[in-house]
Structure 1
Amino acid sequence: MKTIFSPRQQEHQGQFEFYNGAVVEGYENTSRATFILSRIEEVGLGPVLAPRPQSLETAKRIHSTAYVDFLASAWRFWREAGRTGTALPYAWPARGRYKDVAPDSIDALLGLYSIDASTGFVEGTWEAVKASHDSALTAADLIIEGEQACFALCRPPGHHAGTDFNGGYCFLNNAAIAAQRLLDAGASRVTILDIDYHHGNGTQEIFYERGDVQVISLHADPRNDYPFFAGYADERGSGHGEGCNLNIPLPDGTDWAQWERALEFALGSIRQRGPDVVVISLGVDTFEGDPISRFRLSHSHFPLIGAHLAGIGTKTLFVLEGGYAVEDIGVNVVGVLSGYEEARRR
């Protein structure tokens, strides 16, 4: 299996976030990609290729143009305001109680285009975000060109980023952008299956009223975990997207038996839908050792996940999302990919 990754994705580094009442070093850091790349080489998964340069045209079909332009210029605005350190918001518009204006202040813009204080900008953030986006689109292009499966090693990740907001370490929604590229190339139906511990609220928001992309997510119950305000089972899509959104929230302490049952249910829905391509939002923060999650999957379970996914029988694009037990992330991510490849060859 080919992996797409650019060293430029490591330029987003040294950022801080606000978590559990304290300012802490970002959990989403460069070590994540380093451990994954090392494991890919160790097991001989396949070549690691640089992404092809990509325009932002597809991204601007998923995200608002104003939002994408803000991401590209946020660090410059921050520095022009005389700031250093990590650019984080501290003020957000209250629901239904603010004017529909484009503010000039970088602090107002940071709040306008975000949902939390975990997703900060540093000097290399945009370069990394753009390279991560390029990796996702290049992997999608390889699928279009005939690859059965491909892995976009995307960091920063993307599934919490919506039409015009960032959050949860995510800036551009790589999986959603890749799905749009697949549709533009002729796929009639695409499914995004999100197996990250946290609900992919951004992906849901982007496709909620669309019928061409099925969005399924297995995740922690949002009554108790991030992103809190989305991911409930009664969120089924609306308009043309009615019935195309499936959320499967799971309780704290979910073990393999519970999680596997949820996965099998999701896979049944995918088979009913019959997509041309499945995009996997691959988060491995379901691991029992993850510092910000509360499920109990072990190393041995991730190859089993890959085998289940191979059983769908469609072309499959894997896009990296979360996973913050950095010393274990390589084993777990590559476990899924290797399990998929081994099952597919049987």
Structure 2
Amino acid sequence: MRTFHNISEALHTPRFFLMRGAVRQNYEVPARAAALREGLASLGLAPEAALPASLATLLTVHDGAYLDFLANAAKDWAALPEAGPEVVANIHPSPEMLAQGGVPSASVISRTGWFTADCACPIGPGTWEASVGAAGAALAAAGEVAAGRNAYALCRPPGHHTYAARAGGHCYINNAALAVEHLRAAGAARVAVLDIDSHHGNGTQGIFWDRADVLTVSLHADPGRYYPWFVGHARETGGTPDGNLNLPQDFGVGDDVWLAALDDGIAAIRRFGADALVVPLGFDASEDEPLAALKVTADGFARAGAAIGAMGLPTCITQEGGYNVDVIGGLLARFLTGFGDATSA
């Protein structure tokens, strides 16, 4: 299996993170990528350097005004009097504002509120370059998959919370969605997304909500108690028949329940008749995570890799969450080993 990354990820060094009213150290740090590279190295895999995604390619998924904001936000923010070190919204438009015709102004403060969903996506001087590099890694992996092979993209920042025109939850460019569009353009008639991050893949769901050619499946912790809070419920079935499947799990479930739900997602993908698969892979479902809503073990991730590999679909794996840098490299190695054993069987 070929693997890809872009070293510009290290330029993204977010500091701000708001949790239960307290500002805390951000979990999405460059050490995550270093740990994941160690996991690849333990399997004898050296990630290849991917080129950054082009603006034209980003526009296949994202709104142009949003991309312009993201590319220039750090510079525009730094020009404000008494600006803090990172771009963080202090207001978001409410439904009442939107219902009464609310629109953003030219101010970067206004545009930050408009183009971000929450306070968990601070933008710094290196965020744009890192995000475009992560997108390039996903596209390089998708290119392999378009040729009928499997590939892994070490994407940092992650991407599955990003809507077409809105950042959120540590995510700025939707890497998985770009991979899907690349596969569709390369000839895959139907593409499925199987998101196993512990957080609902709300951005990916939103991007493909009305698409009959893309099935989005997300296996995650109960959004009634967990980010993204408002979406990710089983009742959200998409704008087309069989276009979306959410598999929310009770807090604290472990391998057996989680893997049974994964089997349900795999069954839906088989019924859908996908030609290719994109797997947003998060390790924040691990029992060792700092927020540990779910209790999946290393063996559980290995079994998940085997179950996904046994589907026999050309598969593009894009890295999402997982914040315990002491374990995520090993979890990646276990997942890819299970996946590889199943595909070579």
Aligned residue in 2 for 1:12: 12
1:105-154 Cα deviation digits (max 9, x unpaired) = 221111111111011011111110110011111111122234x2100100
TM (norm. structure 2) is: 0.96
For 1:21, the aligned partner's letter is G
Aligned residue in 2 for 1:137: 139
Aligned residue in 2 for 1:55: 54
| Secondary structure class of the residue paired with 1:279 | strand
1:298-338 Cα deviation digits (max 9, x unpaired) = 12221111100111111000000111111111111221111
Matches of 2:292 and 2:232, distance apart in 1:
16
Shift of 1:165: 0.7
Q: Does 1:214 align with 2:212?
A: no
Matches of 1:144 and 1:268, distance apart in 2:
23
User: Percentage identity across aligned positions?
Assistant: 37
> Residues 278 and 315 of structure 2 are in contact (CA less than 8 Å); yes or no, is this contact kept in structure 1?
yes
> Residues 194 and 218 of structure 1 are in contact (CA less than 8 Å); yes or no, is this contact kept in structure 2?
yes
For 1:179, the aligned partner's letter is V
Stretches of 4+ moved more than 2 A in 1?
A: 98-102
> Residues 197 and 284 of structure 1 are in contact (CA less than 8 Å); yes or no, is this contact kept in structure 2?
yes
Match of 1:116 among 102, 115, 118: 118
1:189-225 Cα deviation digits (max 9, x unpaired) = 0000000100011000100011111000011111111
For structure 2, the residue ranges without an aligned partner over 5 or more in a row are none
Aligned residue in 1 for 2:299: 300
Matches of 1:14 and 1:166, distance apart in 2:
14
Shift of 1:14: 4.2
1:146-200 Cα deviation digits (max 9, x unpaired) = 4x21001001000000011111100010000110011011110000000010001
Aligned residue in 1 for 2:157: 156
For 2:50, the aligned partner's letter is P
Matches of 1:94 and 1:301, distance apart in 2:
41
Aligned residue in 1 for 2:206: 205
> Between Structure 1 and Structure 2, how many residues are aligned?
342
> Residues 236 and 245 of structure 1 are in contact (CA less than 8 Å); yes or no, is this contact kept in structure 2?
yes
What CA RMSD, in Å, does the superposition of the two structures yield over aligned residues? 1.2
Matches of 1:257 and 1:301, distance apart in 2:
8
Aligned residue in 1 for 2:21: 21
For structure 1, the residue ranges without an aligned partner over 5 or more in a row are none
Matches of 2:3 and 2:25, distance apart in 1:
28
Q: Does 1:106 align with 2:102?
A: no
Matches of 2:190 and 2:63, distance apart in 1:
23
| Secondary structure class of the residue paired with 1:327 | coil
Indicate the larger mover: 48-57 or 159-168: 48-57
